[in-house]
């Protein structure tokens, strides 16, 4: 009681696009007020609570706020184990009591009894929950399998799930700077080139040949977004799929690229055209490693941070590194949970990227930084949003202040051809993500070809 389950649950439901069910509210809607039900005896209330939870768990995916005593029932605990990911929203007893004292809650009429219940229930919460969190971001990170912690790299052996052998796939340059603590389970280490060179089919073929894991093994990917892309793709296809853990070491990777299970390699005709959806067992983001990032890599990451902030309507770019990573990763986890295989809403994460990917192709992969391309692409998307959706120009002004986008040296025709081949395009027509206002993206937006091409050309020096 008083942990904030109803408030946090409603926000988690909103961000993940799922219905929200407050179990106590549903019980009252069907059976009358909880104080009146308790007058008939707590056992009768608990029976109704069991029936209602069983009904909810058998229905469509939802976010459910349980009553504080619901997990005391063995039947409820069994249902949660079978059908739910259960988070203990932790709160200290003083805060909880301050929130519920003076209310009509039957079990919160006397402080001594409330504190006794608090102590009695904590072991049951620990036994029942899959994770512990203190806020909305914490719930989303837990549900998305994302662990954000300073110093996590050193104790990676404690975090990697399972007991099987570990193969490490790492960016060679990153491995010189950061040694993950993987312990005795590590049986092999495989290096890949930095950047987009890692995402070539030749690298994939080499890794397939070098790996010696069986299906109980787990692949750990250490590096930036390109490393996690190729390692995840290898994990998805080696022995028809083995488990893997992503350990992103760049800002781009920690806030975006390593989250969501999209793995891919590049083909001659385009970026990320061969891939698979293969969710990692865990994403471990250690903000401490960001201290060694070159400025260009940090700038690339900030472009993704700004994009996420616009989608979430949070000025995340003003935060410190750990808060940036937590906020961005939590938002992306929410979007992925709402649309795991990109059939709809997940497309919003492409804000600015339709143009960015075209610029990268037009410049020849590697000739222009991903962050520079995204920064430029965001300005084009926001300018079109002003013209067609009435977006406040102050939004673009703030983005340009933070990212300082530059014109890109690229071939106009090659960039345009790449934009028409974009994975979100339909019969050669670009489908854009635009912004009505921060927090209100529109996806699948089509504009006349001449207007889209003009916007792309305006980004090229």
**Same-domain check for residues 255 and 124:** no
Over residues 408-425, the pLDDT tens digits come to 999 999 999 989 887 677
Q: Comparing C-alpha atoms, which of 42, 19, 45, 17 is closest to residue 32?
A: 45
**Same-domain check for residues 98 and 183:** no
Q: Is the dihedral of CA 27, 29, 32, 35 positive or negative?
A: positive
Domain presence at residue 371:
yes
- Give the pLDDT band (50/70/90) at residue 460: very high
- Domain-terminating residue out of 135, 163, 185: 135
Over residues 210-265, the pLDDT tens digits come to 999 999 999 999 999 999 999 999 999 999 999 999 999 999 999 999 999 999 99
**Same-domain check for residues 284 and 184:** yes
Domain presence at residue 339:
no
Domain presence at residue 321:
no
- The residue from 51, 200, 342, 400 that is catalytic is 342
- The residue from 105, 278, 332, 396 that is catalytic is 332
Residues comprising the chain, all counted: 461
- The residue from 49, 350, 396, 398 that is catalytic is 350
Q: Quote the pLDDT of residue 34.
A: 86
Active site (annotated) includes residue 278: no
- The residue from 46, 147, 346, 396 that is catalytic is 346
Active site (annotated) includes residue 350: yes
CATH code for the domain in which residue 353 is found: 1.20.1090.10
| Alpha carbon separation from 197 to 58, 193, 260, 364, 406 (Å, rounded) | 47, 6, 22, 12, 24
- Domain-terminating residue out of 116, 135, 154: 135
**Same-domain check for residues 130 and 156:** no
Active site (annotated) includes residue 370: yes
- The residue from 240, 295, 320, 413 that is catalytic is 240
> In angstroms, rounded to a whole number, what is the distance separating the alpha carbons of residues 338 and 54?
23
pLDDT mean across residues, the chain: 93
- The residue from 262, 271, 299, 326 that is catalytic is 262
Domain extent at residue 64: 5-135
pTM score, two decimals?
A: 0.91
Looking from the CA of 449 toward its CB, the CA atoms found within 13 Å total 9
Active site (annotated) includes residue 342: yes
- The residue from 105, 147, 271, 353 that is catalytic is 353
**Same-domain check for residues 219 and 265:** yes
Domains in the chain: how many in total? 3
- The residue from 278, 357, 360, 396 that is catalytic is 357
Find the range with the poorest average confidence among 138-147, 233-242, 335-344, 377-386.
335-344
- Give the pLDDT band (50/70/90) at residue 270: confident
Mean pLDDT computed over 130-158: 96
Q: What is the 3-state secondary structure (H, E, C) of the chain?
A: CCCCHHHHHHHHHHHHCCCEEEHHHHHHHHHCCHHHHHHCCHHHHHHHHHHHHHHHHCCCCCEEECCCCHHHCHHHHHHHHHHCCCEEECCCHHHHHHHHCCCCCCCCCCHHHHHHHHHHHHHHHHHHCCEEECCHHHHHHHHCCEEECCCHHHHHHHHCCCCCCEEEEEEHHHHHHCCCCCHHHEEEEEEECCHHHHHCHHHHHHHHHHCCCCCCCEEEEEECHHHHHHHHHHHHHHHHCCEEEEEECCHHHHHHHCCCCEEEEEECCEEEEEEEECCCCEEEECHHHHHHCCHHHHHHHHHHHHHHHHHHCCCHHHCCHHHHHHHHHHHHHHHHHHCCCCCCHHHHHHCCHHHHHHHHHHHCCCCCCHHHHHHHHHHHHHHHHHHHHCCCHHHHHHHHHHHCCCCECCCHHHHHHHHHCCCCCECCECCEEEEEECCEEEEEECCCHHHHHHHHHCCEC
CATH code for the domain in which residue 10 is found: 3.40.50.300
**Same-domain check for residues 121 and 244:** no
Mean pLDDT computed over 41-64: 93
> In angstroms, rounded to a whole number, what is the distance separating the alpha carbons of residues 248 and 223?
5
Over residues 26-43, the pLDDT tens digits come to 999 999 988 888 888 889
Looking from the CA of 12 toward its CB, the CA atoms found within 13 Å total 30
Q: Comparing C-alpha atoms, which of 54, 56, 69, 66 is closest to residue 19?
A: 56
- The residue from 46, 299, 370, 396 that is catalytic is 370
Residues facing residue 146 across a β-bridge: 283
Strand duo 63-65 + 20-22: pairing:
parallel
- Domain-terminating residue out of 135, 165, 199: 135
**Same-domain check for residues 155 and 289:** yes
Domain presence at residue 108:
yes
**Same-domain check for residues 281 and 219:** yes
Active site (annotated) includes residue 357: yes
Structure tokens at 8: 């946090």
- The residue from 297, 304, 360, 398 that is catalytic is 304
The residue assigned the tokens 């509210």 is: 25
């Amino acid at each position: 009681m008083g942990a904030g389950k109803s408030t946090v649950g409603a926000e988690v439901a909103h961000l993940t696009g799922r219905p929200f069910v407050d179990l106590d509210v549903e019980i009252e809607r069907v059976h009358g007020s909880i104080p009146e039900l308790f007058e008939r005896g707590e056992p009768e209330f608990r029976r109704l609570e069991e029936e209602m939870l069983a009904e909810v768990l058998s229905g469509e995916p939802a976010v459910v706020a349980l009553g504080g005593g619901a997990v005391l029932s063995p039947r409820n605990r069994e249902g949660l184990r079978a059908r739910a990911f259960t988070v203990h929203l932790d709160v200290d007893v003083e805060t909880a009591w301050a929130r519920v004292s003076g209310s009509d809650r039957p079990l919160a009429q006397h402080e001594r009894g409330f504190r006794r219940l608090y102590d009695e229930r904590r072991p049951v919460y620990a036994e029942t929950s899959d994770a512990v969190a203190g806020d909305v971001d914490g719930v989303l990170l837990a549900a998305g399998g994302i662990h954000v912690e300073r110093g996590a790299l050193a104790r990676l052996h404690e975090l990697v799930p399972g007991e099987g052998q570990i193969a490490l796939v790492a960016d060679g340059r990153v491995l010189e700077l950061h040694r993950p603590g993987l312990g005795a389970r590590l049986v092999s280490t495989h290096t890949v080139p930095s950047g987009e060179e890692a995402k070539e089919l030749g690298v994939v073929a080499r890794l397939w040949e070098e790996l010696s894991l069986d299906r109980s093994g787990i692949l750990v990917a250490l590096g930036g977004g390109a490393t996690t892309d190729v390692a995840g793709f290898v994990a998805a296809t080696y022995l028809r799929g083995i488990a893997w853990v992503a350990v992103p070491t760049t800002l781009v990777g920690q806030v975006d690229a390593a989250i969501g299970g999209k793995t891919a390699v590049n083909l001659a005709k385009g970026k990320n055209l061969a891939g698979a959806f293969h969710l990692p067992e865990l994403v471990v983001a250690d903000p401490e490693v960001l201290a060694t990032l070159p400025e260009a890599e940090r700038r690339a990451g900030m472009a993704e941070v700004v994009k996420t902030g616009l989608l979430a309507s949070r000025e995340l770019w003003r935060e410190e590194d750990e808060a940036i990573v937590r906020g961005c990763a939590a938002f992306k986890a929410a979007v992925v949970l709402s649309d795991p295989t990109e059939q709809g809403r997940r497309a919003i994460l492409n804000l600015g990227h339709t143009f960015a990917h075209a610029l990268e192709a037009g410049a020849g992969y590697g000739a222009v930084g991903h962050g520079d391309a995204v920064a430029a692409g965001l300005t084009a998307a926001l300018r079109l949003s002003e013209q067609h959706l009435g977006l406040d120009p102050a939004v673009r002004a703030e983005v340009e202040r933070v990212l300082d986008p530059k014109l890109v040296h690229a071939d106009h025709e090659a960039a345009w051809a790449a934009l028409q081949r974009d994975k979100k395009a339909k019969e050669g027509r670009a489908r854009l993500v635009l912004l009505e206002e921060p927090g209100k993206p529109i996806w699948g937006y089509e504009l006349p070809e001449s207007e889209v091409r003009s916007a792309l050309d305006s980004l090229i020096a």
